[in-house]
Amino acid sequence: MFIGFLLELREAKLPVSLKEFLTLMEAMRRNVAGYSVDDFYYLARAALVKDERNLDKFDRVFGHYFKGLETPGEARLEIPAEWLKALGEKLLTEEEKKLIEAMGGWEKLMETLKQRLAEQQGRHEGGKKWIGTAGTSPYGAYGYNPEGVRIGQDKNRNNRAVKVWDKREFRNLDDRVELGTRNIKLALRRLRQFAREGAELELDLDDTIRATARNAGWLDLKLVPERHNAVKVLLLLDIGGSMDGHIRTCAELFSAARGEFKHLEYFYFHNCPYEGLWPDAMRRHVERVPTPEILRTYDQSYKLIFVGDASMSPYEIEQPGGSVEHWNDESGEIWMRRLLATYPKAVWLNPVPERYWSGTLSIAMISELMEGRMFPLTLDGLDRAMRRLTR
Amino acid sequence: MARFEGTETYVATDDLRVAVNAAIALERPLLVKGEPGTGKTILAHEIAKALGKEIITWHIKSTTKAQQGLYEYDAVTRLRDSQLGDPKVGDIRNYIVRGKLWHAFTADTAPVLLIDEIDKADIEFPNDLLLELDRMEFYVYETRETVVAKQRPVVIITSNNEKELPDAFLRRCFFHYIRFPDRETMTRILAVHYPGLHKALVHEALNIFYDVRDVPGLKKKPSTSELLDWIKLLMVEDIAPETLRQRDPAKLIPPLHGALLKNEQDVHLFERLAFLHRRERGGA
C-alpha cells in the first residue's frame, strides 16, 4: 500500500525510513486516522516527517501523489494575464509561440483556457492538454511560480479553504532557501555546533569526587571534553562580482560566530585565488599578501572555507595569465591545488542556487578541484559543509 | 482505547490531535517542537488530564545524563552508612535511587511521561535513551535485575531546536510541529481560557497582538502565553475595547505593554516607532 508514495518521498530527498513507513501502516491498521483524508494526511505527516524543515517537501509530495483523492473543486480563473504571458514567453519555443499566434494570440488562449476549464470534469495528468499536472503545459498546478499558481481546486465542495497540504505553510522552514536575516540565527547555531568540535580534555571535578566516593576513597580521576572550542578557520571570500551581497552576508555570519572559533582569518580574492590575496576588501589594490606566505603562516589544522560563485571564464582557472585583473604566471588551478594540498579540510560555499551549477563550466571545474566539496549557501548547504569539515 | 480530543482548557488542532492519538495507539514517543510559548509543555499536562493519568515530568538540563532518568547509585550515602555501622549497608538495593523513567515504568497505571526540552542535554543524550524508550526496559547492573514497563507510558518529548536530534532517535518517534496559532485558533484558545470574554475586546486585543508580532525587528515576539497574561491584565484593569481601538499615534504602544514586550530593546523600538509616527503626522 502506498509504496509509490514512499518512493516519491524518498525521491524528493525526504529521509523516510522503512521503519517509519511500517509505523504508518501499523497506525493505519489500528485505525488511528479513521477514514478522513485530512486525518490521514496529519497521521502520515506525524509518522514520516521528523523535522520541520521537511514539512514543506512533504506537503508537495503529498499534494502530488494524492491529487484527485478529493473531488475537484470549481474552477477559478484569476490568473493575471500579464503573468501568463511572461511565463509563456520564457518557457515556450518559437514554434509554440507561433502556434499560439495561430490560435489567435493571448486573448484567444485565455478564452481556450476558460473553455478547457469548463469542460474539465475529472483531473488530467500527463498528456498535452493545456491544463493538468505533470504535462507539457506550463499551466496548472506546480508551475514555475513559487506561489504554486493553480487553476481550480482552490476550494473544495465543503467550502473549506485551500487543502491543508496545498497551503504549504511551512515554506519558510524549508532550509534550501538562501540565507537571509530570517534564518541567520539558525545558521549561527550551526556554526557554533561546528565550533565546539575538537576540544581538549579537562578535569571533571564533580565526577572525580563521585567516582572517588564510589571507590571508597581511592582517587579516581575523570576527564571531560573542554567546553570551549579549538576550531581554526581560514576564510577566503570572492569579491568584486555580482555576489557581493551574499559574500557580505557570509562574512558577517562568520564574524558573528567569531567568538566561537579559536582563530578566524579572512582573505579576499577575485573569481579565483592566485599568487596574492587581499586582507582588506576595500584596499585590495594597496595591500596584498603573497599566497605562499599564507600557506606558511597558517598550518594545516586550519579549515579552509571558500565563498564565491565560481562563475568565470574557464581561462581564469586553466591558463597562466587568465586573470581578469592582472598577469598571473601560474594558473588559478595550480594555486587552488596548492591551497587544497596544504589544507586537507576545505569546502567551497556557493551562493549560486545548486540547480544552476551544471550550467556553468567554471563551477563544474572548481567543484572537481574541490573533489565535490562545494555546497550551496543555504542553511542546509552550510550544515552539510560544516559536517563535511568535521568529518 | 483512550483518545485525546483536547480539553476544556486546551485547544488541540486537528493535526495535533491525530499525532497525539497515533502516539498513544502505537505506544511510541511523540516529539513536539514549535515556537516558545505555543504550549508544548502544557500539552503533556493536558493529555494526562484528559486521559485521567498521572504525569511524571523530567526536566532536562545541560548537565542531565540519561542514566539519571533510569536510576542512580548513591555511593556517598552508602559509604557514610558503612562507617556508622548502619545495618542497611548490606543490601545495595537501599542505595539505588530510582529515576523518572523507572517511576514511569513501574507505575500501576501507565502515566504520561514528559521529557521536557530534550535539546538542552548533551548531544549523546537521546542516543543513550534509544533502547530504553524503544523497548521500555533497562538493566540495573548493581542488582542484576531488569526493569520492564508494566504498561508502556505515553511519552511526550519537547524540543526547542537548540540541537539536532539523532536520526535513529527520530525514527522511533512521532513528530509534531506546533505552528503559531492563527486568528481563528487564537480566538478559540481565548474562549477556552476566559469564557464570556467580551467579543469586542477579543477583536481589538487580537488586532493589536498580531500587529505587534508583525513589527519587524522585534527581539522576542509575544506568544500565546504572553497574550493570555496580557488579556488577563486588561480584564483586571477593566480596560474598555474603545481604549484599545484608539489608534492615537501618541499611544502607539499598547496599554500594559509590559506583558507583551519582554525586553527593553523591544520597548525602545516601539517608542521610536511612535516618535517617528508622530513626526510624520506633524509634518503632514
**Which of A60-74, A328-342, B116-130, B167-181 shows the lowest mean pLDDT across its residues?**
A60-74
Average pLDDT in the A254-276 region? 79
pLDDT band per the 50, 70, 90 thresholds, residue A75: very low
Note the pLDDT of residue B157: 94
Query: Closest by alpha carbon to B114, among B32, B206, B232?
Result: B32
A26, pLDDT greater than 80: yes
Q: Which residues of B252-275 are buried (b: 16+ CB within 10 A; e: fewer)?
A: bebbbbebbbeeeebeebbeeebe
Note the pLDDT of residue A187: 67
B94, pLDDT greater than 80: yes
Note the pLDDT of residue A147: 33
Note the pLDDT of residue B104: 92
**Which of A275-284, A343-352, B98-107, B188-197 shows the lowest mean pLDDT across its residues?**
A275-284
A9, pLDDT greater than 70: yes
- Judging by beta carbons within 10 Å of its beta carbon (0-12, 13-18, 19+), is residue B4 exposed, middle or buried? buried
Residues 136 through 165 of chain B touching chain A, CB cutoff 8 Å? 162-164
B58, pLDDT greater than 90: yes
Note the pLDDT of residue A354: 82
Average pLDDT in the B240-264 region? 71
| Cβ contact, residue pair B14, A214, below 8 Å | no
Paired with B156 in beta bridges are B30, B114
| Cβ contact, residue pair B176, A46, below 8 Å | yes
| Cβ contact, residue pair B163, A193, below 8 Å | yes
Q: In angstroms, rounded to a whole number, what is the distance separating the alpha carbons of residues A14 and A61?
A: 10
Name the grid cell of A17.
525510513
A93, pLDDT greater than 80: no
Note the pLDDT of residue B47: 92
- Taking only the tens place, the pLDDT of each residue in A208-219 is 888 888 887 777
Residues 54 through 113 of chain B touching chain A, CB cutoff 8 Å? 73, 75-76, 79
Average pLDDT in the A98-112 region? 58
pLDDT band per the 50, 70, 90 thresholds, residue A115: low
Note the pLDDT of residue A287: 79
Note the pLDDT of residue A168: 56
Minimal Cα distance from B159: which residue of A? A51
**Which of A58-72, A137-151, B175-189 shows the lowest mean pLDDT across its residues?**
A137-151
Note the pLDDT of residue B165: 83
Note the pLDDT of residue A190: 67
- Taking only the tens place, the pLDDT of each residue in A279-326 is 876 666 677 888 888 888 888 888 898 888 888 888 888 888 777 777
Q: A156 to chain B, minimum CA–CA distance in Å?
A: 18
Q: Is A216 on the interface with B (CB under 8 A)?
A: yes
Note the pLDDT of residue B31: 94
Query: Closest by alpha carbon to B149, among B61, B74, B56?
Result: B56
Q: B171 to chain A, minimum CA–CA distance in Å?
A: 6
| Cβ contact, residue pair A20, B73, below 8 Å | no
Contacting residues of A for B179, CB less than 8 Å apart = 169
Q: B238 to chain A, minimum CA–CA distance in Å?
A: 37
Note the pLDDT of residue A71: 40
Higher pLDDT, B49 or B219: B49
pLDDT band per the 50, 70, 90 thresholds, residue A194: low
3-state secondary structure (DSSP) of residue A229: coil
Q: What percent of chain B has pLDDT over 70?
A: 92
Average pLDDT in the B117-124 region? 83
| Cβ contact, residue pair B167, A52, below 8 Å | no
Average pLDDT in the A179-187 region? 57
Cβ atoms B189, B6 nearer than 8 A = no
| Cβ contact, residue pair A50, B22, below 8 Å | no
Q: B244 to chain A, minimum CA–CA distance in Å?
A: 30
Average pLDDT in the A263-288 region? 80
Average pLDDT in the B41-59 region? 91
| Cβ contact, residue pair B175, A19, below 8 Å | no
Higher pLDDT, A133 or B29: B29
pLDDT band per the 50, 70, 90 thresholds, residue A85: low
pLDDT band per the 50, 70, 90 thresholds, residue B115: very high
Cβ atoms A106, A185 nearer than 8 A = no
Cβ atoms B265, B217 nearer than 8 A = no
Higher pLDDT, A169 or B160: B160
| Cβ contact, residue pair B73, A47, below 8 Å | no
Give residue A122's Cα distance to chain centre.
Answer: 36
Q: Mutate which of B174, B182, B185 to disrupt the A interface (most A C-beta within 10 Å)?
A: B174
Q: Is B21 on the interface with A (CB under 8 A)?
A: yes
Query: What is the C-alpha end-to-end distance of chain A, expressed in Å?
Result: 38
Place of cell 489500528: A30
**Which of A238-242, A381-385, B229-233 shows the lowest mean pLDDT across its residues?**
A238-242
Supply the pTM of this predicted model. Answer: 0.60
Q: What percent of chain A has pLDDT over 90?
A: 1
pLDDT band per the 50, 70, 90 thresholds, residue A368: confident
**Which of A243-247, A325-329, A330-334, B4-8 shows the lowest mean pLDDT across its residues?**
A243-247
Note the pLDDT of residue A384: 82
Q: B80 to chain A, minimum CA–CA distance in Å?
A: 10
Residues 153 through 182 of chain A touching chain B, CB cutoff 8 Å? 164, 169-170
Q: B33 to chain A, minimum CA–CA distance in Å?
A: 8
A68, pLDDT greater than 60: yes
Note the pLDDT of residue A226: 60
A2, pLDDT greater than 70: yes
- Taking only the tens place, the pLDDT of each residue in B187-230 is 888 888 888 888 888 888 888 888 888 876 677 788 888 888 88
Average pLDDT in the B32-44 region? 87
Note the pLDDT of residue B54: 92
A79, pLDDT greater than 50: no
Mean pLDDT of chain B: 84
A73, pLDDT greater than 50: no
Contacting residues of B for A32, CB less than 8 Å apart = 18, 21-22, 25-26
Q: A133 to chain B, minimum CA–CA distance in Å?
A: 27
Note the pLDDT of residue B56: 94
Note the pLDDT of residue A144: 35
